[in-house]
Amino acid sequence: MRDFLTFQAMKENKFEFNYKVFESIDELPEDLRFLLNEARQVTENAYAPYSNFQVGAVGRLVNGEIVSGSNQENASFPVGLCAERVLLATASSLFPKIPIRTMAVSYKSENVKSDHPISPCGICRQTLQEYEERVEHPMQLILGGMTGPVYVIDSASRLLPLAFTSEELR
């Protein structure tokens, strides 16, 4: 068996993407600042008695409507729902086939400082990628804590390179 490090590949590829980093919410354009402030407030709606990690997500649809979601935990882990998926389900139910233009995600916790961006979990990344594919529209992400830097990513799909997509099932 060959050692992985000495294995000679025919070709090596690289995946990378660019994203914007703002030092604080104050540097964001007004429309993005509004969404992140709303996401920060929506963390109050989270039901997180087990993790004490409250997440809020707010999305602006292409028609201008605003939809929100917060994480909802359950004693029977892992049947809880992340804020991002709650938002997607709500938007899809209330406004079928209307793409989300931008989603802001924030968090707060009793256990850790909320002073930097967090990224959606793996299940959320898969769900966000498939949502973009389904509505045929990229979704800009704004990721930030209660304070500190903010990341702006032009498409949620960037977070899931080499994604398993519906194409593989056709």
Q: How far apart are CA 100 and CA 87, in angstroms?
A: 10
Radius of gyration of the chain (CA): 17
Q: How far apart are CA 5 and CA 107, in angstroms?
A: 39
Q: How far apart are CA 138 and CA 1, in angstroms?
A: 43
84 catalytic residue (yes or no): yes
Q: Is 22 helix (H, G, I), strand (E, B) or coil?
A: strand
Among candidate residues 25, 20, 34, 22, the one with its CA nearest the CA of residue 103 = 34
Q: How far apart are CA 153 and CA 143, in angstroms?
A: 8
Q: Which of 84, 132, 133, 167 is catalytic?
A: 84
Q: How far apart are CA 96 and CA 105, in angstroms?
A: 22
Where in the sequence numbering do the catalytic residues fall?
84
